[in-house]
Structure 1
Amino acid sequence: MTEDFWQRLLALHYVYPKPLNRLNRLMIDDPELEKLYRRKPFEIAALMEISLAQANQLKTAYAEALTIPFKDLYEKHKITPVSFHHPNYPVSLLDLIDPPAILYAKGRIELLLSPEKIAVIGSRNASHYSQKAINAILPPLVEQQCLIVSGLAKGADAMAHATAIELGGQTIAVTGSGFLHPYPKENAGLHSIIEEKYLSITEYPPYMQPKRWNFPMRNRIISGLSQGILVTEAKAKSGTLSTVEHALDHGKDIFAVPGDIFSALSEGPHKLIAEGAKPVWKGSQILEEYRLLRAEK
């Protein structure tokens, strides 16, 4: 990637932070975005399926963003943009219908290439049962060099990251906002540790604040990075299960922790088990599942 193309891509994504399938519309006949600043607004509107007013706004904002020294700006904040061209960009993300065009990263970007990744997710209101389950299941996974992926939300996500760190393992946090607006504030200390010693990533430019609709989009990256998904506690209708839906769409393995039949937070895992997810209560069960899958291949 040339420096000029890198600047143009960063400028476009800064003002139009959309997935690769959207940005590709501008690159089909212009792979290095050399023509974008010359395109007529009506042409941009037709290619992107947006209004003429939006196209005018995009072109104006893009022209202004081209003057921003992104390389220096991101270095100052210790942010590494990992585009779909980057050697550390996970190939598995390209299987998504809407892969992130750029991952903004803080920490050790080599962790993106870790071959064994398991996502651990669950309710933001997870009970102590989730922590007990995570304590029981994660040690064998970490011992076998499985990297733990989660979304840094309150509850089960934070438990998964913190436990992986305590066990001496590796973890990746996938967040739903830009680095200038860390979320949630309750996890600020944990987030700082992950940024400094492990890896935190987001598809949103640094200025992006956490918005409700960012998190379902974040969930597809958690799924796309991981070989399998472990669900601890979740209600039958929850954001946790949207991650599972993404995983099922791409043939990922689903593991669920059986729970108290009288708890609403067991409804999600029990529903998944009824639909074919593997019930687990020991990390060795997940490892054994992968041994069988490798043997079949």
Structure 2
Amino acid sequence: MKKLDIYDQKYTIVTVFDHTYPLYLKTIPDPPYVLYTKGDVSLLHTPLSISVVGTRKPSPYAFPAMKSVLVPLIQSGFTIVSGMAQGIDQLAHKLATEYNGKTIAVLGSGFQHIYPKNNPILYNTLAQEHLVVSEYPPDCAPKKYHFPERNRLIAGLTPSTFVIEARLKSGTLITVDQALEQGKDVYALPGPAGRITSEGCHKMINEGAKLVHTYHDILEDWLEKFE
């Protein structure tokens, strides 16, 4: 069996002065001047998109619940943006690939240091058929502080962020804070009472995030914008 080489693909540089630079990113407080990209750069200008974030250690409840919401959105033409982290991020990317949708992965490292390394097949699929983005040069190894920085891009690339399971103290809530600072809509999926991975979403709902029962709760907001 041939070993997958996750570093063998060329990348494209997009600067803030290029027409291909995503318009949503230009409106955030600290947009990166340069984006390194692999894949379909046109996805940076998809008309329908949503960021999906959540815990790296989802409960058994998470996947069927998120699938029931995300699959209809994917089939309605939504591009899914996430961070390729283990857990919710990778599940969101996989749903997009499995249901003939499109997805963007935002990395916290350069292309020569793909992190996490647990799923090279998924990474190659995203780089070849979808889009992978990083603000870090290819030779830049992942650092702890890169991931909060990366989170502002996940939130920044879309007009809204959907949270599926989060602890009270987590990187997911950093993404939510970034989304709110950027003036984006925030949606949260409620979880079983008493479960630690439900606490973050329940707190967000109490503080004003829109509770998501079904995909209609997200789609209806988009339909209102285009009326």
Matched, 1:242 2:174: yes
Q: CA deviation at 1:292?
A: 2.8
Q: CA deviation at 1:114?
A: 0.5
SS at match of 1:235: coil
**1:142 paired residue number:** 74
**1:166 paired residue number:** 98
SS at match of 1:216: helix
**1:278 paired residue number:** 210
Q: Which has the larger radius of gyration?
A: 1
Matched, 1:183 2:183: no
In 1: Cα distance, 2:72 partner to 2:220 partner: 11
Could you list the runs of 4 or more consecutive aligned residues of structure 1 that deviate by over 4 angstroms after TM superposition? Answer: none
Query: Is the 8 Å Cα contact of residues 48 and 78 (structure 2) preserved in structure 1?
Result: yes
In 2: Cα distance, 1:161 partner to 1:193 partner: 10
Matched, 1:154 2:86: yes
1:17-70 Cα offsets, whole Å, 9 max, x none, are: xxxxxxxxxxxxxxxxxxxxxxxxxxxxxxxxxxxxxxxxxxxxxxxxxxxxxx
Q: CA deviation at 1:198?
A: 0.4
Q: CA deviation at 1:279?
A: 0.7
In 1: Cα distance, 2:177 partner to 2:113 partner: 28
203, 210, 216: which one pairs with 2:148? 216
Query: Is the 8 Å Cα contact of residues 223 and 229 (structure 1) preserved in structure 2?
Result: yes
After TM superposition, the score normalised by the length of structure 1 is 0.72
Q: Indicate the structure whose relative CO is greater, using CA pairs within 8 Å and at least 6 residues apart.
A: 2
The runs of 5 or more residues in structure 1 that have no matched partner are: 1-75
Matched, 1:94 2:26: yes
Q: CA deviation at 1:188?
A: 1.8
Alignment of 1:48-67 (within 5 A): none
1:147 partner amino acid? T
**2:192 paired residue number:** 260
In 1: Cα distance, 2:78 partner to 2:9 partner: 29
2:202 partner amino acid? H
Q: CA deviation at 1:202?
A: 0.2
Q: CA deviation at 1:128?
A: 2.3
In 1: Cα distance, 2:61 partner to 2:18 partner: 40
In 1: Cα distance, 2:101 partner to 2:216 partner: 16
SS at match of 2:100: coil
SS at match of 2:61: helix
The runs of 5 or more residues in structure 2 that have no matched partner are: 1-7
Q: CA deviation at 1:284?
A: 1.8
Query: Is the 8 Å Cα contact of residues 133 and 281 (structure 1) preserved in structure 2?
Result: no
Q: CA deviation at 1:77?
A: 4.3
Query: Is the 8 Å Cα contact of residues 234 and 268 (structure 1) preserved in structure 2?
Result: yes
2:19 partner amino acid? P
**2:65 paired residue number:** 133
Q: CA deviation at 1:287?
A: 0.3
**2:5 paired residue number:** none
**1:199 paired residue number:** 131
Alignment of 1:104-115 (within 5 A): 104-115=36-47
Matched, 1:120 2:52: yes
- RMSD, matched Cα: 1.2
**2:35 paired residue number:** 103
Matched, 1:229 2:170: no
In 2: Cα distance, 1:139 partner to 1:190 partner: 18
1:261 partner amino acid? A
Percent identity of equivalent pairs? 45
Query: Is the 8 Å Cα contact of residues 83 and 102 (structure 1) preserved in structure 2?
Result: yes
**1:12 paired residue number:** none
Q: CA deviation at 1:129?
A: 1.7
